[in-house]
Amino acid sequence: MPSKVFLKKNIKPLIHGTVVVKANINFKIKAQMKKMLVMAALAICSFANAQKGTVLVGGNISYSSETRDFGNAERKSNEFAFSPKVGYQFHENWTVGGEFTVASSKDDQGVNEYKTNSSKFGAFVRYTMPLSQTFSVFADLGAGFQNQTEKDYVGSNYTKYKADGMYIGVTPALFINMKNGFGLNFSIGGLGYETLNYDNNGPDVSRFNFNFGKTASIGISKNF
């Protein structure tokens, strides 16, 4: 009889010990998961804050080409642009700065041909959203002044026009961080609005541009 009592008294401690072991294992697993989540959150935050208070220097080169077939005639047009910019990143997601663009275009309509040279000078604000330590997306809102010189050719003769005005536009893009804030920018167009007032009692032009997916540009940028 004493031996039976002894066995009954020792069953509960053994079962209780097993439950405690399981609870400790579950607690350790949950603690490890929480630790991993905290570390991941800190990594994302540290990446987002890595470029705060730095100077952004970058530039884009864009080229667009279009061919239209009208049956018995063909129209070809192309445009090239270079757009450097410098900004200050005052927040982990926000950058402000100045931008400058020089561009040239050609519109060949067979007998008639139009050549245009233009420049833009203005300011921009950028919002950046990091996706990972390598990729992020951003959108630039730019606005400023522009001027344009156009030559309209009929054979070897041409007429020259000059105009100035303003512009505003939004351009989304993808940023790939190569190393230490140096990376590549990829854009496939955006949307914008611009005005042009021609000299010598010429027309006043305003137009809305939507070329998302119709153009492609690649650029580089570096935060110092």
Predicted pLDDT at 72: 77
Predicted pLDDT at 149: 95
Residue 16 tokens, joined? 């209780």
Per-position pLDDT tens, the chain of length 224:
444 443 334 433 333 333 333 334 343 434 444 444 444 333 333 333 346 789 999 988 878 888 888 777 788 899 898 999 999 999 989 999 999 999 999 998 878 899 999 999 999 999 999 999 899 999 999 999 999 999 999 888 889 999 999 999 999 999 999 988 789 999 888 999 999 999 988 889 999 999 887 777 888 898 88
Contacts of 131 (CB under 8 A, 6+ apart): 137
Contacts of 140 (CB under 8 A, 6+ apart): 124, 125, 126, 170, 171, 173
Of 142, 149, 124, the closest CA to residue 194 belongs to: 142
Residue 162 tokens, joined? 């000059």
Q: What is the pTM of this model?
A: 0.67
Please, what is the Cα angle at 49 between 45 and 55, to 5 degrees?
160
Alpha carbon distance 8, 64 (integer Å): 87
Predicted pLDDT at 57: 94
Residue 136 tokens, joined? 């992020």
Say how many Å lie between the first and final Cα of the chain, rounded.
84
Predicted pLDDT at 51: 61
Predicted pLDDT at 48: 37
Burial of 165 (0-12, 13-18, 19+ CB in 10 A): middle
Predicted pLDDT at 140: 95
Within 70-203, strands assigned E span: 74-89, 94-108, 112-130, 135-154, 157-179, 182-187, 191-198
